[in-house]
Structure 1
Amino acid sequence: MPLAAPPTPPPPPHTGGLLALIPGTGGLLTVAALGIVLLLVLIIKVRLQPFVALLAVSIAVGLGAGLSVTELFGTVQKSDAVSLIETGMGGILGHVAIIIGLGTMLGAILEVSGGAEVLSSRLLNLFGEKRAPLAMGLTGLIFGIPVFFDVGIFVLAPIVYAAAKRSGKSILLYCMPLLAGLSMTHAFLPPHPGPVAAAGLLKVDLGWVILMGILVGIPSVLAAWVYASWIGKRLFVAVPQDMVEAAEEAKAAVAAEQAAAGRRSLGSPMPQARGEAPVPLSTVLLIIGTPLVLILAATFSSIALDPSTLRSVIEFFGHPFVALTLALLLAYYLLGIRRGWSRKSLERVSTSSLKPVGNILLVVGAGGVFGAVLKGSGVAQALSDTFNDVGLPVIVLAWLISVVLRVAQGSATVAIVTTAGIVLPLVEGGHHSQAFLALIIMAISAGSIFASHVNDGGFWIVAKYFGISVRDTLKSWTVLETVLSVAGFAVAAALSLVV
């Protein structure tokens, strides 16, 4: 009986590619280091669009680590050959794009219907003049869940102007708590791009991300509010009169436009312009809370319930795609159709809200490509082995890497997707719980908001909209973001010791 043929040995790992003179792990680490430096140079010095920069660096790292052109791009001769670029881009966007798209449309309906103004005015009335800064902070915290950070500023800035003008105190006392709330939700909670993208890359259930985002985010924002109160009493910044006038002109223009649209029977996407009653606060809270509750219920049903019809139903309605779709349909009906909006108005608001999302999705997709190239080329494993030898806990490394990338190039999204790609091999195969991986995401997200300064677009939005000088913005906003980041990391690290 003939002897069985010996098994075919696995292909040798890439050992440095274009840097083959540096053997093994050393060559791969050199490729990784040069890739990060190239990414920062392209974004900071060359001012290349982050999507293009990430894609170019992914290709350069792949070739430098020894990947073939076929492995990177596939081949036109074989239609079934899938490239690393395709799998990296498609793998992450298949999960992230739907969530970000649905969340963006939901936020737009809440914004245009006047939900933010109702929320802030109710909270201001509830807490009174003396606690108006707390009311603004809670407004940012709640309204920031479904809307992007910059949109929250655009919508809520006039309310901050009004509160600061009535009191005669520094505008920092009112805008800083608001900004802390908006920044916390943007960094730590879905459906915002950062935590959703990291969850997609690390394969973490969004329910765990929401739960850990709440547990980490609440103490962090409380710490940021303490600093906001302190700096608001010590640094006086007057209400920017030019921005107040611009806000009033914009409001008048919108009202006139909507009145004209109503006369053309297109429906009004701002019911208040036609003298209708404000949106009930309970409706706003119902719409914002519905997807969060459904997703959390689905997550914990898999722990608390045995397989059954009930569990299947809960998991169906709690799937992020279904939960966000239901919340959006609720918003369409409760904030739109029931209040006299036409279908054309709903379609117009939804479509226009998606225009800014394209850039975000491309950056997230390019981050997926970067992660796939790191893994496919062997660079990720080399990084994993090296970081393991350093001896620092992975949650500390995740935060530090994210901090360095954030401070160097300014974009929180780029910092998150790049860090997640680097950290992925450190946790793969480690049999970590979903709760622990969600805390890794919290650490990455916390690092991505560290020390916002002049290379961050958010820095200039804050300075412009609230009339703060560059020096005072560094003293207030930059430090506020640092407090939020450090507190978030500290809470995440502490929780990681017990989950």
Structure 2
Amino acid sequence: MEFLVLLVGIAILLALIIKFKINTFVSLVLTAMIVGVGLGMPLTKIATSVQNGIGGQLGELSIVFGFGAMLGRLVADAGGAYRISHTLIEKFGKKRLQIAIVLASFIIGIALFFEVGMVLLVPIVFAIALEAEVPILYLGIPMAAALSVTHGFLPPHPAPTAITAALNANAGHVLLYGIIVAVPSVIIAGPVFTKVARKLVPDAFERTGNLTALGPQKKFNLEETPGFGISVLTSLFPVLLMAITTIYQMIFNHGALPKNPSMLDSIIAFIGTPAISMTISLLVAMYTMGWARRIKTPEIMNTLEDAVKSIAMLLLVIGGGGAFKQILIDGGVGDAVTKLFSGVNLSPLILGWLIAVVLRVALGSATVASLTAAGLVLPLMKSAGVDPSLMVLAIGAGSLAASHVNDAGFWMFKEYFDLSVKETLSTWTVLESIISVVGLGIVLLLSLFV
């Protein structure tokens, strides 16, 4: 019964978003309420679950996402991202252009949301491809692969941060294991897959791209942009803080805060929490990308306000995903999944990945697929004793699979690189699926040691 209601709910959600073009946040909340009624929940309980789901999801995350968007915009508007890309390309030379693009996209991708990173990097990729006389897609595939792995595996990105909170995982461990998963995934889905794609769809590599889809482009004079070192440091500052906490706790406290922490233990743990690390990092960015460059405070504040406007709807969508997840938990769907798979000899990590894949294919949004999958596997994960950090990454891998026509990223890639739908399916959809499968494989390998 619970599964039938869930399937009907997903069908309703799909119809509202795709057929009737209803806003994703509105669709999620409406679907959550309908599913709650279908599961036989008391009407007053449905309202409470929706409120708790949204509130619980956005509690800490609103700071992480908001400040993360502000930090990314400060780095981008100051020309820091431009400096990072050009310096790496200059150092690596034309023969290793793909590696330079992967590194630049990876660094910039950690600090920026996927869509923002894509908008920022595409003009740079076009300019470099033109100068180096290589096909635009030759650099576009590695760029998209690097942005995708940061989006799917690494905090402070929306999906991994949200699932980390939902599954009560250690953010530092997710980041550490996430990098281990991300590196081979991006190499295989980026430079290696490019060689295969060039044989599969040779015509796609003759396209010249479409910059008009990005709107007016901000021009930078390289000499006037921040230095490479300070740009990289600012972009990676939240990652560094979380990494410091994780490494310290693994060396001195066996990976967790002790029962009677010293002052140093408390301080290290404090700076490594996502909300605090993002707060500190934003203050650093305001100085390095703003005040240190003699930019006045009102101008910096305008940049921060514009950054928040760009993620307002994303925050609501994540809240809506939280509402849907909470209804599924409170309505007993999570328990039903546990009963269904209790006698099945299937790794909970594979199960979490499979659920996320199905939801990703059905719903399009990686973030919504992740949150819904997290709600469904939470009871199963607890009963099986799986490391929450690895479950976050397994679900993250599943949420990237088979991006197609119901995903915004699909259309962004298609438009920017001027591809047909068939060519986009043969490049973008395949590279996303490669990341998903390789990511799961590395997670399963890690589970043998963690």
Same fold (TM over 0.5): yes
Describe the superposition over 1:36-56 as per-residue Cα deviations: whole angstroms up to 9, x where unpaired.
Answer: 333233333333322222212
**Which one of the candidate residues 359, 371, 374 is aligned to 2:325?**
371
TM-score relative to the length of structure 2:
0.92
Tell me, in whole angstroms, the C-alpha distance in 2 between the residues paired with 1:343 and 1:238: 46
Please state how far the C-alpha of 1:232 moved relative to its aligned partner. 4.1
Aligned to 2:233: 286
State the match for 1:456 in structure 2.
407
Post-superposition shift, 1:242?
5.4
- Name the aligned partner's letter for residue 127 of structure 1: F
Q: Deviations over 1:69-126 (max 9, x none)?
A: 12222xxxxxxxxx22222211111021111111111111111111111111111111
**Which residue number in structure 2 is paired with residue 215 of structure 1?**
180
- Give a deviation string over 1:25-70, Cα, whole Å, max 9, x none: xx33332333233323333333332222221222122222221112
Q: Across the two proteins, how many residue pairs are aligned to each other?
A: 440
CA 1:376/1:474 → structure 2, altered by over 3 Å: closer, same or farther?
A: closer
User: Equivalent residue for 1:394?
Assistant: 348
Report the alpha carbon displacement of residue 230 of structure 1 after superposing the two structures with TM.
Answer: 3.6
The verdict on how the C-alpha distance between 1:36 and 1:163 changes in structure 2, with shifts beyond 3 A counting, is: same
Q: Does the CA-based 8 Å contact 1:240-1:467 persist in structure 2?
A: yes
Match of 1:310 in 2: 264
Where does residue 477 of structure 1 map in the other structure? 428
Counterpart AA for 1:329: L
CA distance in 2, matches of 1:467, 1:368: 35
1:410 partnered with 2:364? yes
Aligned counterpart, 1:445 = 396
Q: Is contact 1:171–1:232 with CA below 8 Å preserved after alignment?
A: no
Residue 97 of structure 2: aligned partner: 132
SS of 1:489's equivalent? Answer: helix
Distance across 1 between alignment mates of 2:131 and 2:234:
31
2:11 pairs with one of 28, 32, 37: 37
SS in 1 for 2:289: helix
Aligned to 1:258: none
Report sequence identity in percent.
Answer: 39
Moved more, 275-284 or 362-371: 275-284
**Residue 68 (structure 2) pairs with residue 103 (structure 1):** yes
Does the 8 A contact of 1:413 with 1:448 survive in 2?
yes
Q: 1:294 to 1:169 in 2, by over 3 A?
A: closer
State the AA in 1 paired with 2:40. G
1:182-229 Cα distance to aligned partner (Å, 9 max, x none): 111111111111111111111112111111211111111111121024
- Residue of structure 2 in register with 1:6 after alignment: none
Aligned residue number for residue 49 of structure 2: 84
CA drift of 1:168 comes to: 2.8
Paired letter, 2:2: L
CA distance in 1, matches of 2:103, 2:308: 26
Residue type at the aligned position of 2:312: G
The aligned amino acid for 1:231 is: A
* 2-structure distance, mates of 1:219, 1:71: 45
How do residues 53-202 of structure 1 correspond to structure 2 at under 5 angstroms? 53-73=27-47, 83-202=48-167
Aligned: 1:204 with 2:147: no
Structure 1 339/229 Cα, relative in aligned 2: closer, same or farther at 3 Å? farther
CA contact under 8 A between 1:96 and 1:196: conserved in structure 2?
Answer: yes
What is the root-mean-square deviation in Å for CA atoms of aligned residues? 2.1
In the alignment, the residues of structure 1 paired with residue 60 and residue 343 of structure 2 have an alpha-carbon distance, to the nearest angstrom, of: 33
The CA deviation at 1:428 is 3.0
Letter in 2 for 1:144: G
Task: Give the Å deviation of 1:464.
Answer: 1.2
The structure in which a higher percent of residues are helix is 2
1:227 to 185, 188, 193: 193
After superposition, the Cα gap between the structure-2 partners of 1:241 and 1:445, relative to the gap in structure 1 and judged at 3 Å, is closer
Q: 1:396 to 1:430 in 2, by over 3 A?
A: closer
Task: Give unmatched runs, 5+ long, in structure 1.
Answer: 1-26, 74-82, 256-271
1:299 to 236, 240, 246: 246
Contact 1:50 / 1:363 at 8 angstroms: preserved in 2? yes
Q: CA 1:151–1:213 in 2, change beyond 3 Å: closer, same or farther?
A: same
After TM superposition, list the pairs within 5 Å mapping 1:321-336 onto structure 2: 321-336=275-290
Q: Displacement of 1:372 after TM fit? A: 1.9
Does residue 351 (structure 1) correspond to residue 298 (structure 2)? The answer is no
Specify the alignment match of 2:315 in structure 1: 361
The range that moved more, 139-148 or 47-56, is: 47-56
SS class of match (1:338): helix
1:342-396 per-position Cα deviation (integer Å, ceiling 9, x unaligned)? 1111111111011121222222112222222222222221121112233321111
How far off is 1:296 after superposition? 2.4
Q: From the superposition, tell whether residues 454 and 377 of structure 1 become closer, same or farther in structure 2 (CA, over 3 Å).
A: closer
Correspondence for 2:438: 487
Matched residue SS, 1:453: coil
Contact 1:367–1:421 (CA<8 Å) still a contact in 2? no
Change (3 A) 1:431 1:404: closer
Q: Which residue matches 1:250? A: 216
The structure having more radius of gyration, on CA atoms, is 1
The secondary structure found in structure 2 opposite 1:112 is helix
Q: 1:175 to 1:29 in 2, by over 3 A?
A: closer
Cα pair 2:25 2:316 within 8 Å, conserved: yes
List gaps (5 residues or longer) in structure 2: none
Q: Per-residue deviation at 1:301?
A: 3.7
- What code does the residue aligned with 1:378 have? G
Whose relative contact order is higher, 1 or 2, with alpha carbons under 8 Å and at least 6 apart?
2
